[in-house]
C-alpha cells in the first residue's frame, strides 16, 4: 500500500429513503467508533449509493462512505480486525500519471472512431502533447442529432450518420448508461472526467450511474472541443478505408478525405463498422469470432415496473424510476435483459439500407411513459454457420439476415415489426397494442410474426426467458407487453487479437485495437477504460512525436 494515497471505504451503511447526506456520514462514523476506531482528523464523503428493494415494506439506501485524512498514517495504522468490524477496507486509486517511453513517434497518432474508447484515448494523448488526429465516418453531434431526427420522422436513412456512427458513438443515443461489470480503478477516472465536461456530479455516487442521451451530447461536444484546443485535429465524415505501412516508420491511412500520415493508429471503430472488419480480414489481421446475442426490445409501462419492484413506495421522490436486470440459464443457453431504459423509448438504430435494428434510450429525466429493455438470447460461436470458411463472416451474415428479415416483416420502409407478448407466447397473431403503446418512431410499427425473423432456437429461448422473468418480476410476462424486433447489435461479433502488454494488434506493431468494436469492452465505461489503457500503452512506448511532424 502506498501511504501517500491511502483512503478508507466504509460499506453497508443502511439508511431510510429520507436520510440526508449528513445522516449517512454520521452513521458511517458511528460504525467506526463502535468498532473501536478513532474518527479524529478524518474527512468523510459519500462514495456510492444504491437501492435495496428486497423488502418492499422497508426499502432502504445502502451506502458506501469514503474516509480520508491529511495524515495517511492515521488510516494505514488501523487494525485489520477493527476495520472488518466496521465493514471497512483500505482503498487506493491507481495513478494515471503516464510513463513515457524512449521511442519517437514518426508522426502524429491517428485515432479512428469518436465513441468512448476513441474519445478518451484522444483526450489523454492531447493532454500529453501528442496532438492526435481524431476521425469518424459520421457527423458532429449537432449534425448527427438532425440526421437521427430526420430518420425517425421520414424513414430516410443516412448510412454514415446515424445512431451507430458519429461523434460520441452508439452510446450517445442509448441513455448514457455507465454501469459496468469490470472492477478497474480507471472507472473512477472516467466518471470524474465526464463530470469535468458537464455530466452531473451524481454519476460519481450512483451505483447505477447514467447521464441521459440529452446531456451526453453536450459532454461529447465539450470533450471534442478540448481535444482541438490542445492541438488535436478532429475530422468528421472521414472514414478509414485502408492503410499502408511505409519504410520511414509512418503509416499512410487512406480515408474518404484523402491520405493521412500518422505514426500509429488506434482502432476504436465500434461494433457496427462491418466494412472495417472486412478490410482487416483482407489484411490478415489476427481475429476471432466471439459470442453475440440477439433478441427484441420489451416495453412495459414504467408505472407497472415501479410498482412491481417498489410496491407502495413506488413514486417516492428519492427513489426515481425502478430498474431491473433479469437472466435465465436453466436450459444452458442464456437469456437476459440488457440496456434497460427507465422512462425511455425504443429507437431506430439501423446503419445499413434494408436492415432494421432497434435499440433503447432515455433522457436524463427518464420521464417517458414506457420502460424498455433488450431481451437477448446468447448465440455461441458454434451456433454460427461459417461463411467462406470464416465464422467471423458467418456472424456478421447472421446479424444481417435477422436485420433484413425484420426490415421485410415491418413492410420494407423502416416501420418496425412488433408483437404483443400474449400473441408471442400463445401462438396467436394480429393483436394490436392497447394499454402499452410502442414508442419506436412515435408508433411507426406493424403487427407481424416473429417466426419470419428469428430461427426456432431463438424463439423458444425468448419464450422461456419471458416465462422465467414473469416469475421473478410480477407482470413482466403480461399479455399487453409490446415486443419490437430486431435487437442485434448488443456487442461486436469479433475480437481483434492484440498483445496483452503492448496492446498492439498481433503482427501490426503500430496498430492499437480497442473498445467495444475490437471486442474488449461492453458499454460506455468499459470502452472508455480500454481507450485509456491503450493511450497509456502508446505513451509508454513512444515518449514524443517528431517535432517536424507535429
CB 78 within 8 A of CB 37: yes
**What cell was used for 503?**
496492446
Q: CB 149: neighbour CB atoms within 10 A?
A: 10
Query: Coil, strand or helix: which one is 393?
Result: helix
Max CA separation in the chain (angstroms): 71
378 upstream amide cis, omega within 30 of 0? no
CB 217 within 8 A of CB 173: no
- Cβ within 8 Å of residue 198, ≥6 positions away: 215, 218, 219, 222
Q: Are strands 445-447 and 416-420 parallel, antiparallel or unpaired?
A: parallel
Question: Using CA atoms, how far apart are residues 528 and 61, in angstroms rounded to an integer?
Answer: 28
Query: Coil, strand or helix: which one is 99?
Result: coil
- Tell me, letter by letter, the H, E, C secondary structure of 129-165: CCCCEEECCCCCHHHHHHHHHHHHHHCCCCCCCCCCC
DSSP string of 226-283, one letter each residue: HHHHTT-EEESS--EEEEEE-TTS-EEEEETTEEEEESEEEE---TT-HHHHHHHHHT
Question: Using CA atoms, how far apart are residues 527 and 56, in angstroms rounded to an integer?
Answer: 35
**What cell was used for 358?**
432497434
- Cβ within 8 Å of residue 541, ≥6 positions away: 101, 103, 502
116-127 and 186-196 helices cross at what angle (nearest 10)? Answer: 80
Question: Using CA atoms, how far apart are residues 87 and 63, in angstroms rounded to an integer?
Answer: 11
β-bridge mates for residue 49, sequence order: 63, 206
274-282 and 391-409 helices cross at what angle (nearest 10)? Answer: 160
DSSP label of 333: S
β-bridge mates for residue 126, sequence order: none
Query: Coil, strand or helix: which one is 401?
Result: helix
Instruction: Please state, in angstroms and as integers, the Cα–Cα distance from residue 464 to each residue in 27, 164, 474, following that order.
Output: 44, 30, 16
pLDDT for residue 549: 66
Q: Are strands 542-545 and 103-105 parallel, antiparallel or unpaired?
A: parallel
pLDDT for residue 307: 97
- Cβ within 8 Å of residue 369, ≥6 positions away: 301, 302, 343, 437, 439
213-229 and 116-127 helices cross at what angle (nearest 10)? Answer: 30
Q: Are strands 109-112 and 264-267 parallel, antiparallel or unpaired?
A: parallel
Tens digit of pLDDT for each residue in 425-437? 999 999 999 999 9
pLDDT in tens, the chain (550 residues): 344 457 899 999 999 999 999 999 999 999 999 999 999 889 999 999 999 999 999 999 999 999 998 776 778 788 889 999 999 998 877 678 899 999 999 999 999 999 999 999 999 999 999 999 999 999 999 999 999 999 999 999 999 999 999 999 988 888 778 888 777 888 989 999 999 999 999 999 998 899 999 999 999 999 999 999 999 999 999 999 999 999 988 999 999 999 999 999 999 999 999 999 999 999 999 999 999 999 999 999 999 999 999 999 999 999 999 999 999 998 889 999 999 999 999 999 999 999 999 999 999 999 999 999 999 999 999 999 999 999 999 999 999 999 999 999 999 999 999 999 999 999 999 999 999 999 999 999 999 999 999 999 999 999 999 999 999 999 999 999 999 999 999 999 999 999 999 999 999 999 999 999 999 999 999 999 999 999 999 999 999 887 766 6
CB 294 within 8 A of CB 400: no
DSSP string of 156-205, one letter each residue: ---TTSSSSSSTT-GGGGTTTB---S---THHHHHHHHHHHTT--GGGGT
Q: CB 365: neighbour CB atoms within 10 A?
A: 12
- Cβ within 8 Å of residue 317, ≥6 positions away: none
How far apart are the two ends of the chain, measured CA to CA in Å? Answer: 40
pLDDT for residue 2: 45
pLDDT for residue 180: 81
Nearest by Cα to 211 from 229, 196, 226, 224: 196
Amino acid at each position: 500500500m502506498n501511504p501517500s494515497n491511502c483512503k478508507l471505504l466504509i460499506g453497508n451503511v443502511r439508511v431510510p429513503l429520507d436520510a440526508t447526506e449528513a445522516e449517512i456520514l454520521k452513521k458511517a462514523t458511528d460504525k467506526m467508533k463502535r468498532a473501536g476506531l478513532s474518527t479524529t482528523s478524518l474527512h468523510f464523503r459519500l462514495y456510492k449509493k444504491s437501492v435495496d428493494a428486497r423488502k418492499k415494506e422497508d426499502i432502504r439506501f445502502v451506502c458506501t462512505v469514503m474516509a480520508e485524512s491529511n495524515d495517511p498514517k492515521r488510516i494505514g495504522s488501523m487494525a485489520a480486525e477493527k476495520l472488518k468490524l466496521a465493514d471497512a477496507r483500505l482503498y487506493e486509486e491507481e495513478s494515471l500519471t503516464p510513463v513515457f517511453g524512449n521511442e519517437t513517434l514518426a508522426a502524429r497518432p491517428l485515432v479512428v472512431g469518436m465513441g468512448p474508447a476513441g474519445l478518451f484515448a484522444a483526450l489523454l494523448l492531447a493532454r500529453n502533447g501528442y496532438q492526435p488526429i481524431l476521425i469518424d465516418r459520421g457527423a458532429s453531434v449537432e449534425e448527427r442529432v438532425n440526421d437521427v431526427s430526420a430518420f425517425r420522422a421520414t424513414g430516410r436513412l443516412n448510412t454514415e450518420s446515424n445512431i451507430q456512427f458519429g461523434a460520441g458513438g452508439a452510446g450517445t443515443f442509448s441513455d448514457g448508461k455507465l454501469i459496468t461489470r469490470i472492477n478497474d480503478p480507471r472507472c473512477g477516472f472516467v466518471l470524474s472526467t465526464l463530470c469535468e465536461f458537464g455530466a452531473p456530479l451524481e454519476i460519481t455516487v450512483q451505483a447505477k450511474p447514467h447521464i441521459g442521451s440529452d446531456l451526453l451530447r453536450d459532454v461529447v461536444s465539450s470533450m471534442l472541443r478540448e481535444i482541438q484546443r490542445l492541438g488535436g485535429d478532429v475530422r468528421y465524415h472521414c472514414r478509414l478505408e485502408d492503410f499502408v505501412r511505409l519504410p520511414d516508420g509512418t503509416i499512410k491511412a487512406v480515408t474518404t478525405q484523402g491520405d493521412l500520415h500518422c505514426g500509429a493508429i488506434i482502432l476504436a471503430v465500434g461494433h457496427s463498422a462491418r466494412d472495417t472488419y472486412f478490410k482487416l480480414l483482407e489484411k490478415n489481421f489476427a481475429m476471432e469470432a466471439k459470442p453475440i446475442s440477439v433478441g427484441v426490445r420489451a416495453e412495459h409501462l414504467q408505472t407497472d415496473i415501479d410498482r412491481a419492484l417498489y410496491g407502495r413506495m413506488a413514486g417516492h421522490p428519492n427513489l426515481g424510476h425502478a430498474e431491473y436486470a433479469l437472466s435465465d440459464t436453466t436450459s444452458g443457453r442464456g437469456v437476459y435483459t440488457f440496456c434497460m431504459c427507465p422512462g425511455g423509448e425504443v429507437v431506430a438504430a439501423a446503419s445499413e439500407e434494408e436492415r432494421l435494428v432497434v435499440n433503447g434510450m432515455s433522457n436524463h429525466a427518464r420521464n417517458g411513459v414506457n420502460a424498455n429493455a433488450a431481451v437477448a438470447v446468447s448465440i455461441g460461436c458454434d451456433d454460427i454457420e461459417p461463411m467462406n470458411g470464416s465464422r467471423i463472416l458467418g456472424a456478421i451474415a447472421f446479424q444481417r439476415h435477422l436485420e433484413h428479415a425484420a426490415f421485410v416483416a415491418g413492410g420494407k420502409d423502416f416501420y418496425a415489426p412488433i408483437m404483443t407478448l400474449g400473441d408471442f407466447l400463445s401462438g396467436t397473431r394480429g393483436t394490436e397494442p392497447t394499454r402499452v403503446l410502442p414508442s419506436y418512431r412515435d408508433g411507426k410499427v406493424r403487427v407481424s410474426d416473429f417466426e419470419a425473423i428469428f430461427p426456432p432456437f431463438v424463439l423458444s429461448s425468448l419464450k422461456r426467458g419471458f416465462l422465467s422473468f414473469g416469475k421473478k418480476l410480477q407482470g413482466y410476462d403480461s399479455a399487453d407487453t409490446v415486443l419490437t424486433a430486431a435487437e442485434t447489435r448488443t456487442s461486436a461479433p469479433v475480437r481483434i487479437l492484440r498483445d496483452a502488454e503492448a496492446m498492439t494488434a498481433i503482427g501490426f506493431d503500430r496498430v492499437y485495437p480497442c473498445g467495444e468494436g475490437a471486442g474488449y469492452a461492453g458499454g460506455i465505461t468499459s470502452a472508455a477504460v480500454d481507450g485509456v489503457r491503450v493511450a497509456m500503452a502508446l505513451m509508454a512506448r513512444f515518449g514524443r512525436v517528431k517535432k517536424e511532424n507535429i
